[in-house]
Amino acid sequence: MPMSDVQINNNRNKWNRRIFSIIKLLVTGSLLYYIFYRYVNINNFLIAFSNIRPWLLFVLLVILFANRYLLAYQTSYYFKKIFDIELEINFVFKVQMISSFFAFVLPGELAGGLIAWHMISEKSGKKFDSAAVIIFLRLLSIITMIAFTAIGFVFEEKLEALGLQAYIFILAVLSLLMFIPFVSSKAATAIKQLSQAIVQVTPVEKWRNNLVKINNKLWDSVISCTNADRGSVLYTLSISVIWYLLVILFFYLLMIMVGINLPFQVSVWLIGVITIVQYLPVSFAGLGVRDISIIYLLGEFYQVNPESSMILSTFFLAFSLIFVLMGGMATWLKSSGHHQMKR
């Protein structure tokens, strides 16, 4: 039997994903090879592990889990305030773990976001409301990160030569523009009308009708977000600020743990730069890209040896993988539970 157009498209998409994954794998391997060939001496790298202060591991784990629970609480709080729907904090925390796993495996932040949306919308029964909340809180996190990164640049004279201030400013402006529709009903309504006009030019009638419905429902949910009182918005914003302050503290203590003793303000901007770099979809889990960024920045401006920088990057990845592994375990247990129910 000849394959249908849908089957052909599915096969083509699978091959495209495989090719893209192979390219990312090659880029990751090439970057890591270059790092160890050009910068890192294996013997010095192993010796540098003796500078690690293991007593800080427990403190870092406490901060890491506290931060994740804080984000879970923020999601639960905002959902309740805007749409009057109860989401248990433990459930949202589980969603975060599972979405982290899929973001790593598939990989990509977008994939993780889609998994989080699917689980929350399935629990709440509100697909478009869930999408609006996830997008809003994600934008809020990004804006908070960019704001602190910009502050870090202002107080670090050594970074003037990089000329990154302009790029951070552009990112801040773009993030604020995306944020405005969630706090201004006029802006949300205007963008809804604009997007509706764009959707109307879709040539296939069936697609056009579906896109019109999706567009209307999504922007209606966004407009609902603008009805939040100022107190709730400020409280939600304050949670994002506390969250990112804990992120900065975590990275500062992580540097101390691996024997890199630099001023606190370095961690304020460095963690933001690393996070932005990791968003680039050119390698698996930011491997290679993150490592070479840390090695260059700390070596160029603070004369930190490449081996210590590589250890910092390795432990940063290791702590990130904790939630990936927990999410994988939760996914496996959930899958096993379904199989048992079917039997």
Share of the chain above pLDDT 90, in %: 18
| Contacts of residue 254, Cβ cutoff 8 Å, sequence gap at least 6 | 56, 60, 312, 315, 316, 319
| Distance of alpha carbon 223 from alpha carbon 183, whole angstroms | 8
Does the pLDDT value for residue 13 go beyond 70?
A: no
Domain extent listing, the chain: 5-183+226-342
Mean pLDDT rounded to a whole number for the chain: 81
Does the pLDDT value for residue 5 go beyond 60?
A: no
User: What tens digit of pLDDT does each residue of 272-288 get?
Assistant: 888 888 777 666 667 77
Q: Which is more confidently placed, 321 or 30?
A: 321
pLDDT at 12: 59
pLDDT at 77: 94
Residue that is written with structure tokens 């993988």 in the block: 321
pLDDT at 68: 93
pLDDT at 249: 95
DSSP 192-253: HHHHHHHHTT-SSHHHHHHHHHHHHHHHHHHHHHTTS-HHHHHHHHHHHHHHHHHHHHHHHH
User: What tens digit of pLDDT does each residue of 122-140 get?
Assistant: 888 888 888 888 888 988 8
- Which residue in 195, 71, 83 sits closest to 138, CA to CA? 71
pLDDT at 189: 87
User: What tens digit of pLDDT does each residue of 20-55 get?
Assistant: 667 767 777 777 777 777 787 888 778 777 778 888
Of the pLDDT bands very low, low, confident and very high (cuts 50, 70, 90), residue 217 is: confident
| Contacts of residue 97, Cβ cutoff 8 Å, sequence gap at least 6 | 323, 326, 327, 330
pLDDT at 67: 94
Of the pLDDT bands very low, low, confident and very high (cuts 50, 70, 90), residue 343 is: very low
Indicate the pTM of the whole model.
Answer: 0.83
The alpha carbon of 249 is separated from its chain's Cα centroid by a whole number of angstroms, namely 18
Does the pLDDT value for residue 215 go beyond 60?
A: yes
| Distance of alpha carbon 303 from alpha carbon 267, whole angstroms | 15
Average pLDDT over residues 249-273: 91
Of the pLDDT bands very low, low, confident and very high (cuts 50, 70, 90), residue 312 is: very high
